[in-house]
Structure 1
């Protein structure tokens, strides 16, 4: 077999030294320019999508909750952390994340990838030898990856919108532990998708009813006519890991089937 041809280096001239002469795909100034924002969106979608497909991840259980909760923090932080860890283990063991000889993984724990409740849920999956996903985002604080998400399934996003899409598009269920603004943002994002039919009828479970009723008067929305009384049926409450799992199964979770995002009132799939 003949050797590949030797390509001589190009001469250094004002033309070859110009930024416009760089290959577009190797030009960081161009890729990071405002006109390429759409391309960067596509890159953030495709990179995570390819990795998840390579691992056979067909569906997920998304776990939200505060990054500020610590295992050794003041009560009730340790209780919340322990429950999220226990649920991560239970869902991973029973939900299909371990493959068990199949070719697809279902109900893989998926979190925002950071500390607190996110760490606890990823840790629970790690405890039983299951993979789990961490969808990190570039922030000034609280967003270094925890050490329990599977390294090959740990991602970093610049755009909240694309991160939210990856959180939602494979979700078979949503479990929300106590949290602050970020947790509320994600919760109401999924509730809105469910309310408007943009998401399939996935179960949504809020952990620790006393906390949630203390920070949100859900019934006041309905009393003021801001939501339908039926919208209050979009979510349930649970007080321990086993209770969460029962709520998910009662809410229609099938441990070995992916969510059907093509369902809805004449809405296209994602």
Structure 2
């Protein structure tokens, strides 16, 4: 029986040794040539007794140098990837929210208008700049941005943080040493915040949606000076929220009746049934900084009590 067993096992043992030697030779050739594939005779798993030339057994890099080892919060490729867009939305929202809470900003008066207007321009443009600056000053003095009422600041001037009308409104607040907010946006052309926003309340956004949310969500009033596409976009965003009941009934005042009635004939919308007749009551007009403030008070703006 032993003789029979030896006769049967010996050829199998010899075959095993030959195969093992071939695998060892294959591994040596792999190591020398740096091949990155396994041969047809390699087994699909690694063994401590019979090593095989698979990449995960012979890493070409230190694990600590690979992206997989980076802390997720510090991995820019990961954070800026498509799958993390929702996280970036949240971060962009919360960063601004935290700063506004720290400053006690409870409500804002949002001022929209053209970035192309400059101080001392001839005609109506220069007048628009001057009135926006006056309004920023009046609203800051009378609205509660200068005083802290129960730890809160009321009716703080907020703009898109750019030049033109936005600069003028921030500048008016700056004239009376009141804080004001600049919600800047990253654009293809270089854009920097105007020098009159409060530095700690000057923010830069990547997403228009999150920027618009912060402009709208704590607004106690909206003042719209003459502007172009960007101003129209922001104005109609708020009007739509008001019309659909998604935003509280805050005053919306368009500055310079002649400009707006010549630029947009809203009566045509109502006459053709595109909006209800009462939708025209969602906004009103004013032609001076003092008239703006008076209209806001008439329509329910609550100025803070000084003290």
Q: Is TM (by shorter chain) over 0.5? A: yes
Query: What SS does the corresponding residue of 2:117 show, helix, strand or coil?
Result: coil
Is structure 2 residue 124 aligned with structure 1 residue 48?
no
**1:135 maps to what in 2?**
183
User: Quick one: distance in 1 between partners of 2:72 and 2:80?
Assistant: 11
Q: Which structure would you say has the larger Rg?
A: 2
User: Quick one: distance in 1 between partners of 2:274 and 2:261?
Assistant: 18
Q: Of residues 194, 205, 213 in structure 2, which corresponds to 1:146?
A: 194
Deviates more, 1:91-100 or 1:50-59: 91-100
Cα shift at 1:72: 2.4
Is structure 2 residue 271 aligned with structure 1 residue 252?
no
**1:19 maps to what in 2?**
67
Cα shift at 1:256: 3.2
Contact 2:180–2:201 (Cα < 8 Å) also in 1: yes
Cα deviations by residue, 1:199-257 (Å, 9 ceiling, x for unpaired) = 11100000000000111001000000000110000001000001001111111111139
Contact 2:149–2:304 (Cα < 8 Å) also in 1: no
User: Quick one: distance in 2 between partners of 1:65 and 1:75?
Assistant: 16
Q: Of residues 211, 216, 220 in structure 1, which corresponds to 2:259?
A: 211
Contact 1:115–1:142 (Cα < 8 Å) also in 2: no
Contact 2:139–2:293 (Cα < 8 Å) also in 1: yes
Q: Which runs of 5+ in 1 are unaligned?
A: 1-12, 258-270
Contact 2:256–2:287 (Cα < 8 Å) also in 1: yes
**1:89 maps to what in 2?**
137
User: Quick one: distance in 1 between partners of 2:191 and 2:156?
Assistant: 21
Cα deviations by residue, 1:69-105 (Å, 9 ceiling, x for unpaired) = 0002231111000000000000000000012564100
Q: Of residues 241, 246, 271 in structure 2, which corresponds to 1:223?
A: 271
**2:4 maps to what in 1?**
none
Query: What SS does the corresponding residue of 1:16 show, helix, strand or coil?
Result: helix
TM-score normalized by the length of structure 2: 0.78
**2:77 maps to what in 1?**
29
Q: Of residues 188, 192, 195 in structure 1, which corresponds to 2:236?
A: 188
Instruction: Compare the two structures and name the one with the higher helix fraction.
Output: 2
User: Quick one: distance in 1 between partners of 2:71 and 2:187?
Assistant: 30
User: Quick one: distance in 1 between partners of 2:257 and 2:237?
Assistant: 20
**1:155 maps to what in 2?**
203
**2:33 maps to what in 1?**
none
Q: Pairwise mapping of residues 112-123 of structure 1 onto structure 2 (< 5 A)?
A: 112-123=160-171
**Which structure carries more relative contact order (alpha carbon 8 Å, separation 6+)?**
1
Query: What SS does the corresponding residue of 2:223 show, helix, strand or coil?
Result: strand
Question: In angstroms, what is the RMSD of aligned CA positions?
Answer: 1.4
Cα shift at 1:141: 3.0
User: Quick one: distance in 2 between partners of 1:48 and 1:101?
Assistant: 21
TM-score normalized by the length of structure 1: 0.89
Cα deviations by residue, 1:7-41 (Å, 9 ceiling, x for unpaired) = xxxxxx62110011000001111110000000000
User: Quick one: distance in 1 between partners of 2:139 and 2:237?
Assistant: 23
Q: Which runs of 5+ in 2 are unaligned?
A: 1-60
Contact 2:112–2:159 (Cα < 8 Å) also in 1: yes
